[in-house]
Amino acid sequence: MNNSLGKKVTFFSLIKYTFPTMVMMVFISLYTIIDGIFVSRFVGSNALSATNIVYPIINILIGISIMLATGGNAMVARLMGEGKVEEAKESFSLIIITALIFGCIISVICLLFLNQIIYALGSTDILYDYCSSYLSIMLLCTPVIILELLFEYFLVTAGRPNLGLLSSIIGGVTNIVLDYVFIVPLNMGIKGAAIATCIGYAIPSIIGILYFSNKSNNLHFVKPKFNLKLILSSCSNGSSEMVTQMSSAITTYLYNIIMLRFLGENGVASITIILYSKFLLTSAYLGFTSGVSPRISYNYGSNDKKQLQKIIKYSYLFIFTLSVASFIVSKMLSTALISIFTGKGTKFYNITLNGFNLFSFSFLICGINIFTSGMFTAFSNGKISAILSFLRTFVFFIIEILVLPVLFGINGAWLVIPISEIFTLVFSIFYFFKYKEIYGYGTVKSI
């Protein structure tokens, strides 16, 4: 079953295999970024600020999806490697249902307390109406957001990454077209952006449902058996990704508070643009990690240490190369990236450019940390993966955002993420060497 996961790898075959997932993640990141471009250009910087104010709630929904997708995906892929086909299908089906239930419960709670939540997230009276319009529509579309993210991972495990890529491209292009139609000619404002995004998510979700409903496919829906241990194990194993999203929600909130204090609504809009750029430039790391993880899990499950060593070695080589390339591109295109959102020479533009030039140093390091955390998830070691994610996106961030702005003002705020990545890298290296013999990716001299 799914022999593609067990095929022999070379450096270029691994890139070829993970490329569809990388491109798919880029298109997924574009859903949000394109909203930001149209909102900033045609609605205003306050509307752009509002999308960032409410994004912590969307982070939580994404976190639930990715937690069960990565944690459960590693278990399903390992079951495939062990030849337990029916158990893999049952586990897959249960994970999908569980994610939908969790997500919808949170969505309903948020809708019931929408006003209180928006103000608790730091919204001002100026931003409130924008926040309410955008968040309420996104919450109503929770099922399609969750399914799109889950299918993104499981299509790779099913050996159909190209289908995931195609569906994401169709969804992304649809989102771009509808953003223009709803915001410009129809003048629907921020509501139009939210609706366009939801439709962009819905298309890949429908394609995924159709694919996994076909009984002739090697991974498809079956009647699941309730397995609390599987659910808890999936949550535990994918906890690092949930930690990342939860921490992202908290850090976004804190960044918004700091920016409001130093620079007002323009500051929130600036950090929104920079986080969009980070999302785009790091999406390739996330896509590569999600694409290669099933192969790590499969070969670990089948005890093919030689293949496992090759996969890990080639993965780090590619991530390092991509990190350097991303940093260079970010420096070369910084003015172009920012000018997409706002005109050159404005105060808003100058604030953003200064922040981006300092923030961009994080692109040199974050790929290594993202992959190392994802690698331990693929080995079903959710504990180490969660520690790395927690340190990277929460502990170091909290310490630095409390200290650096006090010492260096607004420049200190821009440097919080790069310095957090440096500290996390130390722990990534430590855990890599600590577990290399345990998981069999140790010596690579024979490769």
Question: How much of the chain exceeds pLDDT 70, in percent?
Answer: 96
pLDDT at 136: 94
Predicted confidence (pLDDT) at residue 175 exceeds the cutoff of 50: yes
Q: From residue 447, how far is each of 14, 129, 203, 301, 305 by CA, in Å?
A: 15, 59, 42, 20, 11
Which residues neighbour 148 within 8 Å (Cβ) at sequence distance 6 or greater? Answer: 28, 171, 201, 202, 204, 205, 208
Predicted confidence (pLDDT) at residue 240 exceeds the cutoff of 70: no
Closest CA to 263 of 347, 337, 353: 347
Predicted confidence (pLDDT) at residue 241 exceeds the cutoff of 80: no
pLDDT tens digit string along 181-221?
999 999 998 999 899 989 988 999 999 999 999 988 888 88
Predicted confidence (pLDDT) at residue 7 exceeds the cutoff of 80: no
User: At 161, which helix (H) or strand (E)?
Assistant: helix 161-183
pLDDT tens digit string along 129-170?
999 999 999 999 988 888 988 888 888 778 787 887 788 888
Per DSSP, the residues of 208-266 read HHHHHT-TTSSS----PPP-HHHHHHHHHHTHHHHHHHHHHHHHHHHHHHHHHHHHTHH
Chain centroid, CA 49 distance in Å:
20
Token digits of residue 441: 């990716």
CA distance 146 to 380: 22
Q: From residue 331, how far is each of 325, 335, 338, 353, 394 by CA, in Å?
A: 10, 8, 12, 11, 26
Closest CA to 291 of 191, 168, 428: 168
Tokens 């910084």, residue?
334
Contact yes or no for 9/311 (Cβ under 8 A): yes
CA distance 415 to 426: 18
Mean pLDDT of the chain: 85
pLDDT tens digit string along 344-395?
877 888 888 888 889 889 989 999 999 999 899 888 787 898 889 888 878 8
CA distance 95 to 441: 29
User: Whole-prediction pTM value?
Assistant: 0.71
pLDDT at 195: 93
